Structure 1
Amino acid sequence: MDTRLTLSRITKKYPSVVANDGIDLNVLPGEIHAILGENGAGKSTLMKIIYGAVKPDEGQVFWNGREVRIANPAEARKLGIAMVFQHFSLFDTLTVTENIALGLPKDTDLHELSKRIREISHQYGLPLEPERHVHTLSVGECQRVEIVRALLAKPQLLILDEPTSVLTPQAVEKLFGTLRQLAKEGCSILYISHKLDEIRALCHKCTVMRAGKVTGICDPTQETAASLSRMMIGAEPPAIKAVDRLPGEKLLSLRDLSLPKSHPFGTELLDINLDVHAGEIVGIAGVSGNGQQELLAALSGEDPRAKPDAILLNGEPVGRMNAARRRKRGLGFVPEERLGRGAVPDLSLAHNILLSHQDRNTVRKGLIRFGAIHDLAASIIGRFKVKAPGPQATAGSLSGGNLQKYIVGREVMRDPKVLIVAQPTWGVDVGAAAQIRAELVALRDAGCALLVVSEELDELFEISDRLVVIAKGRLSPSIKRSQATVDLIGQWMSGLWDEKQTARQEVANA
């Protein structure tokens, strides 16, 4: 069978690193081909070369047997190559339809395009409202926009970079059905994921990369998650042991927290009550777009519209306080969106320290202590094994997983009393994910109260002491992790919980 895509000796060098070092790759028509590697292995750079977003220094690209030089993404799309990036390429102030139209001919009818978006999104189980502005969407919903945009092009090769990182298990299954159907129709798929079980369930072939080189090719259906992990990082990540413990004092309390929509497409928060104690991790599960964004904004101080006593931090009413005042009282926060909110892409890692560390150690009498922030950034890079040239590297130059490790590390190093984390291991390889989770557990064991919002149920079951579900702006009663099941949490994610029964359960858990 003729190959759809062939890469021969592809090399890409940057001043501080060789991202791709003599890469060979063959992808057949109708093949779902996984690219597996830890953060910084060179996967995303290789995909950008195929898509024309990055030019290789050496090597050849063959498309359907013919050598091509893909100068830019527009040329890639003309060939029939579509890509869903890990970091979204969407304009916040435009609607879903307008964003998708940017890559289409100028005479595209927006009304017809909206109809096609609605049809495709429902056909593939990725519901979207075409008229919504992107700034009102959650990360999971932005992911749907990117996937639907790619599917509208009916590509011959579809590149997916961490496509399920913020999708629910139900949405993942629907996406897999879509991808299998596309493959049957002859579309080739390059699939980057750190979820080893997904690769084993979906992909026909797997190419493993480490430090910019191909280190192995295998049939993932014949491998275990443990053997794939060993191929990727040289070891299996350590398991986190579940230990039941008595929680300490209440450090974060929500009391009848209700907030109207901040925009027409937002979610109203309704009578949310929750306590988070010292020395425990409370996990919040839920389908993207059910109020997670609104709750996080209210807790972080980005949305200070709550009644003062609706949010208590160590017993103090903080509902109307801004983010800076809450941080001074011991609150740490990791947002779900890394670039633009968690970090400023064009600033160095050292300068990004100032987004959360503004105390006497880093700023004195209004003057930045550059040596101090440089040393702090260096210590985070070392402790959290962040692959970066040094504190002077810009945040935007890091791979997604390495930037996530840095942002989590920046908050952990503040030694907060309360830490709120959204999507802690989104797009992070298995080794780095295990490290981040271990750091969160260590912070809990040191007496911190942690609230973790994640759409990774496996993650929540691994690290949480208690679980709650957010659905349609309401919060379920909590349940001990040891008494929860995936089926029960999945049922609650649809908003189907028995208030009386779960209230009794919560009393029993207290």
Structure 2
Amino acid sequence: MSGISKRFPGVLANDAVDFTVAPGEIHALLGENGAGKSTLVKMIYGVMRPDAGVMQFNGAPFAPSKPAQARDAGVGMVFQHFSLFEALTVAENVALGVPPELARGDLNDRVAQISHDYGLPLDPRRAVGDLSVGERQRVEIVRALLQSPSLLIMDEPTSVLTPQEVERLFETLNRLRSEGCSVLYISHKLDEVKTLCDHATILRGGRVVAHCQPAQESAASMAELMLGERLVPAQRAQSADAGPVRLRADGLELASESPFGVGLRGLSFEARGGEILGVAGVAGNGQDAMIQALLGERTLGSGRIELDGVDVTTDGPSVRRQRGLCGTPEERLGHAAVPSFSLTENTLLSARERQHLAPSQLINPAAAADFAQQVIQTFGVKTPSAETYAASLSGGNLQKFVVGREVLQTPEVYVVCQPTWGVDAHAAAMIRQALVDMAARGTAVIVISQDLDELLEISTRIGALYLGQMSDTIDAADASAQKLGEMMLGAAAV
């Protein structure tokens, strides 16, 4: 890519970017949220077209106007959010994403062969709805490999995997590299980049600011290249013993809304003031049902929830918020925020009671705008104004907003799912520090996350959610990524 520029209204996403990936290398593309990474790879994959500059692929001019043209040229891509139909089989999902000539004939046999050859075991006849998240990622990878790409783009590929699944993925990527396939690897997990990648290109503000060999850098030094400043990790407060039980869940039963999902099966735990209770788990083990149950979004089949000793089992979200229970669900756009609402309007979704944004049931626009601006400034949300639509923010900036909106309400109990998913190192450190500070003030913080490094960094105690049930918790000081990975796969916490 030479001199690549792409402009959106009010934003220069890529500014004269020069970028090269060599044959047979794993090349990292790094940068904080809004640095221009996604825009750049979308132009390679034909989702967008550059406003200026030229691209070459294998020495020939390259200007795909749609993903099919990029795939025909030899580019494959595995997105962070999978595009699979749960009711269809593995082979049927593969068939939907490849040219018609590849979808015919012995597709089942070819899927089975490729998955075996690359250490990605899959049964082509199984329904995708019955697969784990790690297995679903294999479907996306196998679908890309079936087309024999010479460049495979991977966007945050390990964000939903256990440590054991990460090891298997790295083995696959190293084999692809040995066969001459190039891999363009986007990740905020800099320790992984250091282990896996040959070279890295670093973007900041839409421009290339540095190149490096990750093996010769530390995670901290790469973060500083991305940010242009020193990264300060979250500092756990030196607190006394945990306080009283703020939230108690006893025998929660809740059916999944999806026929392929996992509900809650007798979920029980306690969260105390002044602690961060980490909840590990592979995606699809009841996390959605857990946060819906705790926030009061759905009615329990059975069980009891107490907030500071008061039974709130039958109370809805607004009453629970008034009592001090706030939360941020995993799906930021569509659940935590309304895409077509401004940031000011989105504050009204959850903060109207505790921030008095609608006294006497009449909205106070000035108060809502002031609170939105407070969130923007405190959490460094990059946006033209508080009147910007939520859908126009990058994923990381919207995450900072929806987390900040709850944190600034100073709840007694805060439940958050995937607090730093898809955000850059600087924003992740900021969010984690905010959670640590909340706990230090006496809030009971419950962090549901698949990022084991995150849980080990900030948690006081950690348990694992498996098939809708919570394991015994262990002290974070006694935990390791390996032990948590075993717990996430259903092993006892011993």
**What's the counterpart of residue 296 of structure 2?**
301
**What's the counterpart of residue 306 of structure 2?**
312
**Correspondent of 1:428 among 416, 423, 429:** 423
**What's the counterpart of residue 377 of structure 1?**
372
2:18 alignment partner, SS class: strand
TM-score, L = length of structure 2 = 0.90
**What's the counterpart of residue 151 of structure 2?**
157
**Correspondent of 1:185 among 179, 197, 203:** 179
**Change over 3 Å in CA distance of 1:409–1:484 after alignment to 2:** same
1:2-401 superposed matches below 5 A? 7-89=1-83, 100-105=94-99, 124-125=119-120, 132=127, 146-242=140-236, 243-307=238-302, 310-359=304-353, 361-401=356-396
Of the structure 1 ranges 422-431 and 479-488, higher mean CA displacement relative to structure 2 is found in: 479-488
Aligned residue identity for 1:470: L
Q: Distance in 1 between matches of 2:23 and 2:212?
A: 18
**Correspondent of 2:445 among 439, 443, 450:** 450
What displacement does 1:306 show?
Answer: 3.6
1:485-504 superposed matches below 5 A? 485-497=480-492
Of the structure 1 ranges 125-134 and 170-179, higher mean CA displacement relative to structure 2 is found in: 125-134
**Change over 3 Å in CA distance of 1:461–1:371 after alignment to 2:** same
What CA deviation, in whole Å up to 9, does each residue of 1:43-90 have, x standing for no partner?
111111111111111000111111122111121122121222334555
2:457 alignment partner, SS class: helix
2:472 alignment partner, SS class: coil
Count of aligned pairs between the two proteins = 491
**8 A Cα contact 1:258 1:306, kept in partner:** yes
Aligned residue identity for 1:465: T
**Change over 3 Å in CA distance of 1:107–1:320 after alignment to 2:** farther
What is the aligned-residue identity percentage?
48
Of the structure 1 ranges 286-295 and 69-78, higher mean CA displacement relative to structure 2 is found in: 286-295
**Over aligned residues, Cα RMSD in angstroms?**
2.9
Aligned residue identity for 1:337: E
1:371 alignment partner, SS class: helix
**Change over 3 Å in CA distance of 1:262–1:141 after alignment to 2:** farther
What displacement does 1:127 show?
Answer: 6.1
What displacement does 1:22 show?
Answer: 0.5
TM-score, L = length of structure 1 = 0.87
What displacement does 1:142 show?
Answer: 6.1
Aligned residue identity for 2:251: D
**Correspondent of 1:472 among 467, 470, 477:** 467
Of the structure 1 ranges 62-71 and 364-373, higher mean CA displacement relative to structure 2 is found in: 364-373
Q: Distance in 2 between matches of 1:91 and 1:8?
A: 37
**Change over 3 Å in CA distance of 1:401–1:93 after alignment to 2:** farther
- Structure 1: stretches of 5+ with no match in the other structure: 1-6, 503-510
Of the structure 1 ranges 486-495 and 433-442, higher mean CA displacement relative to structure 2 is found in: 486-495
